[in-house]
Structure 1
């Protein structure tokens, strides 16, 4: 494969949506004075873009993140070797102008942009690329925990030290503008994976200076090192300014950015956990936009002149079964819960308009979607029968769900929980609610090693990071994990073999069979593919919604 188009992220402006209107006059008075000049030609626009997030980022080192709010901030500061065309999942150059795969699919050579600087003034070059790859590969101890280095562990399948060395072999930089990554085995989705924020390029100098690998042991968790909380250093259009925990992150325009400079001089990402409060702040003009508009707020915002943009659904909301609970080791119990859930009712009562009922763990746009998988239609009587046959007529389950957060696949988790809880109780299951704040408590409980006894079922989901089946199925089911608690070597091997096929054409029938295997095995219930909605003030222009949330704000302007 060879890709040689030389485009810049600044070309997002070509695809930018012209969102007409004017922002209420009170907006600037309610926003802090940015205290910085505007970019040339921007005298008639406001100089600070204020966006409301549903929760704080966990930290600011994207290599150690798996949550959308961390990545939302990271995308403004960090860039990867490969990017996506604005508003699509199609590939385009990032920090690499072009790339070429070896015929055996085991090595990739990147031609890098020249003249690119990290925010600390050091050069981005081939040595920096290799330093990043070697950093990930050489993580040890706690840094190998899937709740810390989730993406690297899932996609590269191991570390230099550990149970397996994974598929990464080496990186070589023969000159400043070249880097070659060599793998131990083919990975057809490697280039697509490079669009992930988790694999963005970071300054090796800053990581070392501020103990980004926590080699001195100054904190218990590397995610909260000095680097990850106060000195994140990338090449993107915005540079880190400050972070008030639980309140806001402030970024400044990076005037030495290699691409099109940001049109605003500052960005503020405010944390507002309550969806209704976010809507009220938008109406008041104290924020310029937010993600994950609740279904109940769509019409009121539209009536007040706010702009609503739908992000194309590229996600899955699911109910996971924890097979550490012996009851779930009986497939009849897993089938019973699947029959007990009316997925259309979940969509109708807790998800935005345009959301689709799911019957497998990938959207139908993804290669390998199989329309002929085994289905489990809503049938409470069948559910009761299966529970009786399994000797689980008095089944009691700890049902975990997050609070104080909105996710693209789960905009109102409390509402979704209530709908499903009622349906489970209707077939005789006793439900004990287990609520936890999203970060870090909920993620630690459903993905960490200490949470397996705290919940029997839980709500979670996934927003696809890039257009590759492995990014869904491989992330969920490629190996034993804390989240699902089962061991299915046949499924694990099938996913491994499909992942290593060299072309998408060869992968398609393999993934169709795997989707059928998963449906028959019933590890959980695929609920829906929600359609996320963003809300903006009437003066915001240039924001391009992305199906994979690869939204960079250097094209955004706000008219008064």
Structure 2
């Protein structure tokens, strides 16, 4: 029986009321402000959460809570026998967000994929020079050299041709920098001379639609009713920016937010015993480290880097910042959950006399001042940045080095570290795709040293040759052996002080359901709801 017009209108109204009554707001207390919403310009996890995980999709992505690849905007793909051609077949009928500043006239097609990659790849592309910081991930991952071409076969088929075999290619394009943008919206902004609005008024295909951003206060999103995987059960989604982890926990207890990211390790026991709260924990793909700027006076000498390393009491640092059983002492550039982790690496014994001798040998005057950049607030890679900096300051004072601690807002610290203004900087990295290449190439490659993402500004030809070879190899055992050798080069030349492989914690109210903690540390709330 067909509904008459009036009955149809009443039914639609009742459905709208039922849906709005069912969907409840979800407030997430986050640890920092996003750098922007044009995700290809940025590499931080907080920006990925606020843009890549909410607003955008990629050709492929990861199954929730895993590092397994699944179809996304591409519903299927084929790989040529030589591993150089990837043919993607796009999902049809996927809609871009409709807002007061953009009304799409068509659904997703191959032109959007071409625009999203050619913008980063082709220096002649009209949008290539519109990024104020370039395309740091695309560049540091070597995609300029990797991609020979990206071509449209028809409206829903795209072919990527590579210059070489790349074992982690599918995992790489599941990452935030491979997000797909609407070419139609880009054309609109370019014609209007408003290209900067791509970063402040984003449009994607993701589970949430951007509403507004109050800097250092909150980001608001609306549920996308036309999301191709189904409308999210939370509406609206609000990121309440709360840099202090104590305040995040207070807000959670008061139900001002229903999820609080990255609680302090000291607070874990009290969260577990609170009847209104619950805790998710995971041995995530995270490494914490202090990068030493190898282009700076004195730090350019490996003897000085070795002296700093053996003077720093890393075990005391890890115990104080992370607490017992919440982190493993770091030894290399990535954690033991990944392929090729070199278990032969160990931390040398703390030796102040040897450290002083190395400094004297390198000609470092007593009382030399080094700058250490660190962030305010706290996150999973560094729960208490100021305390950690002060501990290092005290340790280095014992060998005649003075540490000038500079505490900065997260985005400012990253900007200045990329410019190479530091001697040392406390940093961390959360894996994006479950492959060891994702740790070593963006953070320690020669390309990353050029664009500043490699905070040590370290370029070692032997290390580079090994990780290049490992990227091209598809046999896991051979790849593992190459990464093990690369880690020996890293340890010998000491561009970092690896400090910890921390666990990741997420605190939430008991009535939160559908949240999947991600080993890659991204937070996606497309299936999360408050009951």
TM-score surpassing 0.5?
Answer: yes
User: Residue 235 of structure 1 is aligned with which of 197, 205, 228?
Assistant: 205
| CA contact 2:41–2:131 (8 Å) conserved in 1 | no
Corresponding position: 1:466 with 2:405: no
Give the structure 2 partner of residue 329 of structure 1.
300
User: Residue 231 of structure 2 is aligned with which of 235, 252, 261?
Assistant: 261
- Separation (CA, whole Å) in 2 of partners of 1:334 and 1:474: 21
Q: Secondary structure at the match of 1:326?
A: coil
| CA contact 2:310–2:350 (8 Å) conserved in 1 | yes
Give the structure 2 partner of residue 16 of structure 1.
none
| CA contact 2:286–2:430 (8 Å) conserved in 1 | yes
Give the structure 2 partner of residue 194 of structure 1.
173
Give the structure 1 partner of residue 10 of structure 2.
none
User: Residue 121 of structure 2 is aligned with which of 129, 132, 137?
Assistant: 137
Q: 1:340 to 1:215 in 2, by over 3 A?
A: farther
Corresponding position: 1:96 with 2:74: yes
- Separation (CA, whole Å) in 1 of partners of 2:304 and 2:122: 42
- Separation (CA, whole Å) in 2 of partners of 1:284 and 1:56: 22
Shift of 1:374: 6.1
Q: How does 1:483-502 map to 2 (within 5 A)?
A: 483-502=455-474
Deviations 1:460-498 (A, max 9, x none): 111011111111111122103442234422322332232
* Stretch moving more, 65-74 or 114-123: 114-123
Give the structure 2 partner of residue 113 of structure 1.
91
Shift of 1:287: 0.8
- Separation (CA, whole Å) in 2 of partners of 1:39 and 1:316: 46
User: Residue 477 of structure 1 is aligned with which of 434, 444, 467?
Assistant: 444
| CA contact 2:111–2:183 (8 Å) conserved in 1 | no
| CA contact 2:61–2:69 (8 Å) conserved in 1 | yes
Shift of 1:312: 2.7
Q: 1:304 to 1:502 in 2, by over 3 A?
A: closer
Q: Secondary structure at the match of 2:477?
A: helix
Q: Secondary structure at the match of 1:472?
A: helix
**Uncovered stretches (5+) of structure 2, i.e. residues with no partner:** 1-13, 99-103
Q: How high is the TM-score relative to the length of structure 1?
A: 0.84
- Separation (CA, whole Å) in 2 of partners of 1:134 and 1:37: 42
- Alignment coverage as a number of residue pairs: 501
User: Residue 137 of structure 2 is aligned with which of 151, 156, 159?
Assistant: 151
User: Residue 209 of structure 1 is aligned with which of 188, 212, 219?
Assistant: 188
User: Residue 314 of structure 1 is aligned with which of 280, 285, 290?
Assistant: 285
| CA contact 2:65–2:519 (8 Å) conserved in 1 | yes
- Separation (CA, whole Å) in 1 of partners of 2:192 and 2:475: 40
Q: How high is the TM-score relative to the length of structure 2?
A: 0.89
Q: 1:114 to 1:287 in 2, by over 3 A?
A: same
- Separation (CA, whole Å) in 2 of partners of 1:432 and 1:143: 36
- Separation (CA, whole Å) in 2 of partners of 1:39 and 1:259: 22
Shift of 1:375: 4.0
Corresponding position: 1:182 with 2:166: no
* Stretch moving more, 127-136 or 459-468: 127-136
Shift of 1:139: 5.0
Shift of 1:522: 0.8
Deviations 1:240-261 (A, max 9, x none): 1111122111111111111122
Q: How does 1:404-423 map to 2 (within 5 A)?
A: 404-423=376-395
Shift of 1:358: 0.9
| CA contact 1:102–1:108 (8 Å) conserved in 2 | yes
Shift of 1:157: 4.4
- Separation (CA, whole Å) in 1 of partners of 2:20 and 2:349: 56
- Separation (CA, whole Å) in 2 of partners of 1:328 and 1:282: 43
Give the structure 1 partner of residue 45 of structure 2.
68
Give the structure 1 partner of residue 254 of structure 2.
284
- Separation (CA, whole Å) in 2 of partners of 1:505 and 1:42: 52
Corresponding position: 1:345 with 2:345: no
* Stretch moving more, 236-245 or 201-210: 201-210
Shift of 1:183: 1.6
- Separation (CA, whole Å) in 2 of partners of 1:361 and 1:426: 27
Q: 1:544 to 1:486 in 2, by over 3 A?
A: closer
**Uncovered stretches (5+) of structure 1, i.e. residues with no partner:** 1-35, 159-165
Aligned CA-pair RMSD? 2.4
